[in-house]
C-alpha cells in the first residue's frame, strides 16, 4: 500500500481545511445567534426603558439601575454587540468569530465586576442575581471553546 494513499497534500482527509460543516455546526451556531440576539434585544430594552417601566421595579432596584456607570453600560454594549457579531461570523465560518467571542467575554467580565464586586447587586436583586450572570459566563466560555474547536476545520 502506498504511504500517501487516503491523504491529500500531506493531510489526513479528516483534517482537510475548510471541510464542509455538518448540520450540527449550523444548529449550534444558530443557537448562539439566537442567544446573542436576545442579549442585544435586552440591552436595547434596558437602555430605552421609560421612567414608568423603571419605576415598576421599585425604588431600590430602579436606583441601582440608574446608578450604573457609563463604563459598565459600555461593557454591556460591548458584550452583546460582539457576541452577536461573533455568532454571525461563526455561521459565516469566518476566523474572526473567535476574537469577537473573546471581546464579548471581556465585556461580560467587566460588567460583572461592576455589578458583583464594585456594587453589591446581590443586596439589591437577591439570589436572582446568581441565575443569569453565571449562565451568561458559562455560555460565553462555551462559545469561545466551540469557536476555537471548529476553527481549523470549518473556517474559511
Q: What is the pLDDT of residues 59-80, one digit of tens each?
A: 999 999 999 999 999 999 999 9
Residue showing cell 443557537: 31
**The pLDDT of residue 19:** 72
**The pLDDT of residue 77:** 98
How many Å apart are CA 88 and CA 29, to the nearest integer?
A: 8
Helix (H) or strand (E) holding 6: none
Low-confidence ranges of the chain (pLDDT < 50): 1-2, 4-15
- CA 52-50-125 angle, to 5 degrees, is 70
| pTM of the entire predicted model | 0.83
**The pLDDT of residue 151:** 79
Torsion of CA 145, 146, 147, 151, to 10 degrees: 100
Helix (H) or strand (E) holding 7: strand 7-8
Amino acid at each position: 500500500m502506498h504511504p500517501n494513499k487516503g491523504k491529500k497534500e500531506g493531510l489526513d482527509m479528516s483534517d482537510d481545511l475548510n471541510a464542509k460543516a455538518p448540520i450540527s455546526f449550523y444548529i449550534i451556531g444558530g443557537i448562539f445567534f439566537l442567544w446573542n440576539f436576545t442579549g442585544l434585544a435586552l440591552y436595547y430594552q434596558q437602555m430605552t426603558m421609560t421612567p414608568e417601566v423603571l419605576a415598576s421595579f421599585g425604588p431600590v432596584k430602579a436606583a441601582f439601575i440608574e446608578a450604573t456607570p457609563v463604563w459598565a453600560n459600555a461593557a454591556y454594549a460591548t458584550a452583546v454587540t460582539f457576541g452577536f457579531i461573533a455568532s454571525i461570523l461563526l455561521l459565516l465560518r469566518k476566523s474572526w468569530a473567535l476574537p469577537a467571542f473573546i471581546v464579548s467575554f471581556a465585556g461580560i467580565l467587566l460588567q460583572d465586576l461592576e455589578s458583583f464586586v464594585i456594587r453589591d447587586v446581590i443586596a439589591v436583586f437577591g439570589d436572582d442575581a446568581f441565575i443569569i450572570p453565571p449562565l451568561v459566563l458559562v455560555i460565553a466560555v462555551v462559545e469561545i471553546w466551540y469557536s476555537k474547536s471548529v476553527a481549523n476545520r470549518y473556517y474559511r
